[in-house]
Structure 1
């Protein structure tokens, strides 16, 4: 019977949440925990010797983030099913993680049944996002979305996008550095690159644009 169980790995740096996911997986008759990791480096080491049927990845990991883990994991195992779990609003990251190769995105505030639905959907090789986000992604992928905002923001690297999202929340450079576990100098460099790529004059302009962009994404509007 154990041979028929789907093996799920979990990568999350929050012990209580990770243990909660582990308990959820083990409570299901068709699922079992393959292994768990708290960061990208450990996860990749485990992936080299043990490929599960799916990995659940937190987007905000210490050091190299979840987006980088997705790309590296798929380089090792191109057919690997990946479900991203995050505290971040899906409007910020869903499109980006799907383009990176993940098959699904779900927020950690989702209820138990919704999370299990997402897990089982991704295990079949299908994509999973919320119905509202699905419509927004289809619009953006079809080329009918906000061209200025989408084009500008899509030029950002994954790390720059994380910084951009934190700027939209009003976080200072020091706070951004603390959250992402990078130096203030590195955070300032990312902010400068964001300003250049979005063709904005100064930090205040970046903040205004980031706030407007974030709100437009939540409401499904164009800038």
Structure 2
């Protein structure tokens, strides 16, 4: 169980939202080592995160892959309810595929978990300063996209929900429905329902065709 801790008023209060206990506690420890940062709450779910807003965090770090909901749906909710709250998205997913979607959802930055240990403190400080945090490569990619208008965002992929988008990405990486269910802490039946919705929205008629589409989509990014 996670509870609010007392902290001096001069410290920046951080809310962590991640459904993996090791990630939560590791992040808490790392941030609390900084003299000016204090984790006021480490939430495991959307419900806990929304309740934890009582600790009045100065920044939220939100994982995309929450057990009950997509973290990006939580980002949208937080952005709607707390327009001025800086939000940093933390994810196991490839930045090149998910960062733009995270920013459109209302995040102020995107950090891959593989880089979190080395960069989370600098990412937090960058977002707190009012800047967008992305890797240098992703900054360049988005800059190029702004210079060359693309219709991709208006295509059928844009119709996918955040969770469907996540499932499509994992399909493209070669994971089976059972493996995706394990990664996202969901039932196989739920993942299969997401796959059925994806196929309907993308006008795809078989599992093999869906996998081929997902792989080609990832490679095209």
With structure 2 as the length reference, what TM-score do the two structures score? 0.87
Aligned residues: 215
Match of 2:129 among 115, 124, 131: 124
Q: SS where residue 137 of structure 1 aligns? A: helix
Q: Does residue 1:63 correspond to 2:68, yes or no? A: yes
Pair 1:184 & 2:188 matched: yes
- Aligned equivalent of 1:40, options 27, 46, 50: 46
Aligned counterparts, 1:54-203, within 5 A: 54-110=59-115, 112-141=117-146, 144-145=149-150, 147-148=151-152, 151-203=155-207
Higher mean C-alpha deviation, range 97-106 or range 72-81 = 72-81
Gaps (5+ residues) in structure 2? 1-6
Counterpart-to-counterpart distance in 2, 1:113 and 1:191: 35
Kindly tell me: are residues 93 and 175 of structure 1, through their superposed partners in 2, closer, same or farther at Cα, counting changes over 3 Å? same
TM-score, scaled relative to structure 1:
0.87
CA RMSD of aligned residues (A): 2.1
Runs of 5+ in structure 1 lacking a partner? 218-223
CA distance in 2, matches of 1:104, 1:43: 18
CA distance in structure 1 between the partners assigned to 2:22 and 2:191 by the alignment: 29
Q: Provide the rounded CA distance (Å) in 1 between the counterparts of 2:21 and 2:187.
A: 25
Shift of 1:177: 3.0
Match of 1:221 in 2: none
User: CA deviation digits over 1:77-102, x for unaligned, max 9?
Assistant: 11111101112211221111110001
Q: What secondary structure is seen at the aligned counterpart in 1 of 2:41?
A: strand
Q: Which residue number corresponds to residue 34 of structure 2?
A: 28
